[in-house]
Amino acid sequence: MVNNSSMNILTNTSNSTSTNIYSVIINVPFLGYYSLLMVIIGTVFNLLTFIVLCQPAFRDTKVRPTLHYMRALALIDLINVYGWNLDNYLQIVHGFTLNDSYTVASCKFFTFLNYVTLHISGWLRIFICFDRYLCLSRVQPNTWFNRSKSVLIIIFGTTIFFMLFNLHLLIFVCYRDDNGQIVRSSKLYPLYPIYNQINLVLYNGIPLFFMVLFNSMSIYHLIRLRYATIVQNSRIRH
């Protein structure tokens, strides 16, 4: 009885704290308009990036296969910017969200799309950094990873993997409770906050680690290349 009472007190305290924090966020309209600004800026610049990368000067993907990554990333980020940012704006300013305001099917779809696009975006950035590292660290950078078809395979494989990884969101997440309200959770297993922590690792933690690693190694090779060039030039002068 003591343990159950303690757990109830902790649960109630946690819920009330979360409710208070959420209420504070809802009462700050600036955050909603900031999210809307991110949607507008993200849309404009991602569209411009994709349009520029489709110009004739950037069409030779056999010479520069990294362009495949950059085009895919521009499209993924264009979709991604309409996820939580748009929902934050609608929730804070207008009091509803796209996820929860219509049908269970739309709730499933938008929840699935939000997580999938985030994960794909994070890991494509890893492959871009890895591609840059390979180009700088090898005398002959034409490895399997640097070929146009291989890059398309990596993009396709990454997309399929994270779609399958998040497939359970389409199947088990979002339902109507006894009051007819749409609940963005699962009846079979606890989704939050566990899945948010998994998302933090997949979208932020692991990509950040590898991007820092590959970029650091790229910088190291650039410094070595500059030093070797300086030494070579000094020998030629003498």
Question: How do residues 51-91 score in pLDDT, each as one tens digit?
Answer: 999 888 888 888 788 899 999 999 999 998 887 788 888 88
pLDDT band at 19 (very low <50, low <70, confident <90, very high): very low
Q: How confident is the model at residue 118 (pLDDT cuts 50, 70, 90)?
A: very high
Beta strands in 76-214 (DSSP E): 173-176, 182-186
pLDDT score of 233: 64
Q: Band of the pLDDT at 215, cuts 50, 70, 90? A: very high
State yes or no: pLDDT of 6 exceeds 90.
Answer: no
Structure tokens at 193: 């906050």
Query: For residue 7, is pLDDT > 50?
Result: no
What does the block give as tokens for 55? 């110009």
Q: Which tokens in the block code for residue 174?
A: 């979002």
Question: What is the dotted CATH code of the domain comprising 2-237?
Answer: 1.20.1070.10
For residue range 148-205, list pLDDT tens digits in order: 899 999 999 999 999 999 999 998 888 888 787 788 888 888 888 888 888 889 989 9
pLDDT of residue 101: 60
* Type of residue numbered 75: L
The DSSP 8-state label assigned to residue 185 in this structure reads E
pLDDT of 237 > 80? The answer is no
Q: What is the DSSP letter of 202?
A: I
Higher-confidence position of 22 and 225? 225
pLDDT at res. 61: 81
| Cα distance between residue 54 and residue 75, in whole Å | 12
User: How confident is the model at residue 111, as a pLDDT?
Assistant: 87
pLDDT over 90 at 92, yes or no? no
Q: Are 32 and 93 in contact (CB under 8 A)?
A: yes
pTM confidence score: 0.79
Q: What percent of the chain has pLDDT over 70?
A: 80
- pLDDT tops 70 at residue 11: no
Give the CB-side neighbour count of residue 94, counting CA atoms within 13 A: 12
**Rounded distance between C-alpha atoms, residue 235 and residue 218, angstroms:** 26
Residue 3: pLDDT band (50, 70, 90) is very low
Report yes or no: 134 and 143 within 8 Å, Cβ to Cβ: yes
pLDDT of residue 59: 81
Q: Residue 5 above 60 pLDDT?
A: no
Tens digit of pLDDT for each residue in 28-54?
677 888 888 989 999 999 999 999 998
